[in-house]
Amino acid sequence: MFEEFAIDCSGRSAEEIEAATLASVAAHRLAYLRNFPVEVDRYTALLSRLGELCPNYAAGSTKAAYALHEAINVVRCRAPQAEGVERVQEKAGSLPMHSGRSFARRRPLYLAMLMADPGWQGFEPGRNGESLLVRWGDVLAALRERHPEHWAEDLRQLTGLAMSFPASHLDEAPSELPFLYLPGTPRYTPVADDCAARLPQDLGRLRKAAGGIEGGERWFEAVERFHAAANDPALQQVYLMRAGDVVIIDNDRHGHGRQYVVAARTAADGRTEVNPRTIWSVNIQ
């Protein structure tokens, strides 16, 4: 899919890149840029054309993850920690398909990721931190085909039951939207099964929330089927980001994840080497 509309930024002016990006987002609800300058000012200037850049989770912090720019969350790998909190994005392993800030009342409309340093990419496929993307509408279409006996009731449950669940690490007002709802913006090019979804990485939070409401068990069964389909490789786009790659997605319409990444390894002299992989992540409202 990306090959069809990737935007090569080589030799293009900032104005040309901006026009191509906005056109791609309007038509496809996502954009894929290659060879974009790894420069904070160029990156934030482009993204600001899509909306308001949200302050990162700890804007003003002196920690490296938050110090580059108030809107940029710098995602790096870390060696395993003996104590303290580790962000899930920093750990070795994969990330299941999810939507950005699925818990929050004020959710980003777009997510942007710039690969500042691709890090180690010499492993076998599936262990280089390959990025994953799925369109929620494709998940719905698969569920309709694969589970016809559950389809009507699953859809009723997922669109009709308002659900609130807290963040795992942030103190913010939670959303009370259903699991599935209408996207916040219209599409330039209409497609089938156009929907938005609130899918967190950790289904345990939804299981816990479901336990406190009447009929929650049946609702969670529908969530599990949706989650399983979203994480089916047959429905996913897999792409290996290189330095200067930028991906911008409509957070209502697409989920994102990551295949396995090697965060650290032991060098010949016994030292622990940390994967230099670095992504500049930005939320846009």
pLDDT per residue as tens digits for the range 205-233 = 899 989 888 889 999 999 999 999 999 99
- Reported as a pLDDT band with limits 50, 70 and 90, residue 43 is very high
- Reported as a pLDDT band with limits 50, 70 and 90, residue 65 is low
Q: Would the pLDDT of 168 be above 70?
A: no
Mean local confidence (pLDDT), 25-46: 96
**To which H or E segment does residue 152 belong?**
helix 151-160
**pLDDT at residue 180, rounded to an integer:** 94
* 258-280 as b/e: b if 16+ CB within 10 A: bbbbbbeeeeeeeeeebbebbbb
Select the CATH number that applies to the domain covering 2-132+237-284 from these four: 3.60.130.10, 3.90.1640.30, 1.20.1090.10, 3.30.310.50: 3.60.130.10
Q: Which of 101, 132, 155, 88 is nearest to 231 (CA)?
A: 132
Q: Which of 271, 260, 268, 249 is nearest to 31 (CA)?
A: 249
Outline which parts of the chain fall under CATH 3.60.130.10. Answer: 2-132+237-284
The four Cα atoms 42, 43, 46, 52 give a dihedral, to 10 degrees, of -130
**pLDDT at residue 57, rounded to an integer:** 65
CA distance 252 to 262: 29
pTM of the entire predicted model: 0.92
pLDDT tens by residue, 81-115: 766 556 788 889 999 999 998 888 788 999 999 99
Q: Would the pLDDT of 184 be above 90?
A: no
**pLDDT at residue 235, rounded to an integer:** 97
| CA Rg value for the chain | 19
